[in-house]
Amino acid sequence: MKFKFTLLFCFLSFYSFSQKSLPGFVKLTQEQLKLTNVSFEKAADAVILDEEGYINITGKDYYIDVKRRVKILTEKGKQQANIEIDYFSDNNLQNISNIKGQTINEEHGQFVNYSIDDKEIFTIKTNQYYSVKRLTFPNVKVGSIIEYQYRMIGNHLYLIDAWDFQHELPTMKSFFKAEVTGYLDYTNLLVGKRMFEKYSKVSKNEWVLINIPSYKDIKYVNNIKDNSERIRLQLKGYYGNSGSAFGNDPEYKTTIQTWKDLKKEITTANNNFLNEGYVSKIAEQIPNGKSELETLKNVITYFNSNFKWNRFRAIFLRDTQKNVIDNKTGNLADLNKLFQTILKAKNIKSDLLLVSTRTNGKLITNFPYLNQFDAMVNLVKLKDNTTYLINAATISDDQFIYPSLNIFNDYAFNIDEKEDIFLDIKPTISLYESDITYKIQNNSISQNRKEMFNGYFYNEYLEDKNELINQYLTPPISRFYDDQNKMDLLFDKTDEKYKIMKIGKANLDKTESFIPIENPLKKYLTAYTFEEKDRKFPIEFNFPYYFTINVKIVIPESYELVFPSNFTNTIKPNENLIYYQNSVYKNGTLNIIYQLLVNKSVFDAKDYNVLKSFFESTQKLTEDQFILKKK
């Protein structure tokens, strides 16, 4: 027995300590080696076991050393072994170096290490501004642990996205440390509920969080990173003495410029590319309308026909207006400034707004930092006091009052006003009206649908535009209808709505004794779930909307109608949230109406429970069914 015990002890010792991590990594624990699922996120396919970050900011640049360890828990999780590291490569503002990585597998009772071959590290330029390092780990299987490390070097010192504690994978431990070895002074900008609660009242240069859930728990936000756990570093000032960093009595100097200085910087730079004389000749080709609005529409039509966005977001002009006109293309700033210059030639007022798009993240309005903006749009002001927010890079001829949702991200900064003005920009409400009629006869049922909608209910990227009507509503009487006659999608300029008409027929099974009639908004409404206990940040929906759905059913004498109890209902916690349903049965015809209004795209965190109660109440009402029953 003693001999067997010794052998077992030796085996366990070898099992525990034979694995070898990359230099500088903390030692893997038995719990990490044996881990098969994540206690706080059971469905996770992979997990970040631990990660460390260290930033050192010198007088001229900074570097961030990253060490990260990931364990693969399922077959699906194996795709997490393909790592991408994004960085801002334009003008060498950032670079990635010192990449090392390996896979650790347990094979036949011992641990085997497989290092990444340098040939498996690729540099891909994703666009004019960004590049990515792609790492492919070898011999990955369920249970593998992958380790990798790298150094990110940057020279943009004003605002540094220093560290993300929260990722698309759950994270068991994330540690970050910051050191400033130069003469600079930084403010720690804490983002996320846990970071704020743990560190907002203490001054630290080290931060750690444990058991951090993945992104998937964050719902109803335009950009996950706006509310995920992370830290940014904002430069406040520096210490110097008559310009020297090493004086005996260093003087503190602020580097944060005023918003007025920021406006001056961007307008001065962009004015160098203007050519109002050349643009005026173009403006003369555009006919004036009978009203300012008609002239504006003519400018939009001309602009859409003659210019194309090169897909680069920017706030600085990259080309002269003459070249943009001659080449018929430009970046987002080029096109929006050109659009404004044309409007000026047509005596239409427009201010340029700087925005940070949803994909870029929310503005930090406390600091006049230029690089947080990534787009420029026009705020057109007509003499009748109507205003239109227009992104000249992507204007819809039919619906120019509905610019891309990506630009709606809280605030925009007006660079043409003398005062420092931040505008809270919100998308215009979108309307959807549906009229659906059913007739039952001769063992068949006919469906006649007329759909009318505008705004963001129209999806320009959907290849089959006839599928637009299936994105939000489901047929009250669910069947496969053989379309006998349909009207293709068209835009009616008289009421500025898209319209589709469909007439279809479906066979009824002779054995069917009843036909259920369901709420056409059921699938849409039940997609809303509110499970958070303590929401700390706003609830963001894509856009405000209003549904009106009328259902008419002509009931033959061979059927009787079974009503749900207490069908008529109104749920109205406030003016921004309203749901209504009602029915009228007369002369063998049933008419049902459904209405749903969500009149804001952004609700305060304090409204979370109101939203939860509203949608849960409407979801209960969607269970109400009318039944057509054979006599």
pLDDT at position 245 is 46
CA distances from residue 238 to 58, 129, 234, 368 in whole angstroms, order as listed? 12, 29, 12, 17
Mean pLDDT of 338-349: 98
Residue 25 tokens, joined: 């990594």
Residue 168 tokens, joined: 């698309």
Mean pLDDT of 552-570: 93
109 — pLDDT class (breaks 50, 70, 90): confident
Q: Please give the single-letter amino acid code of residue 625.
A: Q
541 — pLDDT class (breaks 50, 70, 90): very high
Give the long-range contacts of residues 275-281, CB within 8 A, separation 24 or more: 275/320, 275/321, 275/322, 276/341, 276/344, 276/345, 278/321, 278/322, 278/325, 279/321, 279/325, 279/338, 279/341, 279/342, 279/345, 280/345
19 — pLDDT class (breaks 50, 70, 90): low
Alpha-carbon gap, residue 316 to 94, rounded angstroms: 20
Is the pTM above the cut of 0.75? yes
pLDDT at position 6 is 36
Mean pLDDT of 262-280: 94
85-89, 222-226, 242-246, 384-388: the lowest-pLDDT one? 242-246
Strands (DSSP E) found in 145-256: 145-154, 159-164, 171-180, 184-191, 206-212, 230-240, 251-254
Sheet containing 82-88: order of strands = 82-88, 130-136, 121-125
User: Which of 239, 237, 155, 229 has the alpha carbon at shortest distance from 189?
Assistant: 229
Alpha-carbon gap, residue 605 to 611, rounded angstroms: 10
The secondary structure of 573-619 as a DSSP string is EETTEEEEEEEEEETTEEEEEEEEEE--SEE-GGGHHHHHHHHHHHH
pLDDT at position 1 is 34
pLDDT at position 202 is 87
Most confident of 215-224, 288-297, 461-470, 508-517: 288-297
* Tokens 């504006």 belong to residue: 296
* pLDDT tens-digit readout, 72-99: 999 999 999 999 999 988 888 899 999 9
Q: CA dihedral defined by 344, 350, 353, 358, rounded to 10 degrees?
A: -110
* pLDDT tens-digit readout, 295-336: 999 999 999 999 999 999 999 999 999 999 999 999 999 999
pLDDT at 247 over 80: no
pLDDT at position 621 is 97
15 — pLDDT class (breaks 50, 70, 90): very low
10 — pLDDT class (breaks 50, 70, 90): very low
Residues 6+ apart with CB under 8 A from 43: none
pLDDT at 241 over 70: no
Q: CA dihedral defined by 384, 387, 393, 395, rounded to 10 degrees?
A: -70
9 — pLDDT class (breaks 50, 70, 90): very low
13-27, 98-112, 211-225, 275-289: the lowest-pLDDT one? 13-27
Residues 6+ apart with CB under 8 A from 285: 302
pLDDT at position 249 is 58
User: Which of 527, 511, 530 has the alpha carbon at shortest distance from 474?
Assistant: 527
pLDDT at position 267 is 93
- DSSP type of residue 400: T
The secondary structure of 185-212 as a DSSP string is EEEEEEESHHHHHHHTTS--SEEEEEEE
Query: Do residues 614 and 573 lie in contact, with contact meaning Cβ atoms separated by under 8 Å?
Result: yes
pLDDT at 246 over 70: no
pLDDT at 573 over 60: yes
Report helix, strand or coil for 135: strand
CA angle (506 as vertex; 504, 511 as ends), nearest 5 = 165
pLDDT at 12 over 80: no
Return the higher-pLDDT residue of 15 and 499: 499
User: Which of 170, 192, 200, 157 has the alpha carbon at shortest distance from 73?
Assistant: 170
pLDDT at position 4 is 37
Give me the phi and psi of 280, to 5 degrees please. Answer: -60, -35
pLDDT at position 593 is 98
Mean pLDDT of the chain: 90
255 — pLDDT class (breaks 50, 70, 90): low
* pLDDT tens-digit readout, 280-297: 999 999 999 999 999 999
Return the higher-pLDDT residue of 279 and 443: 279
Residue 545 tokens, joined: 């909307």
Query: Do residues 352 and 391 lie in contact, with contact meaning Cβ atoms separated by under 8 Å?
Result: no
* pLDDT tens-digit readout, 148-207: 999 999 988 888 999 999 999 999 999 999 999 878 888 888 988 899 999 988 888 999
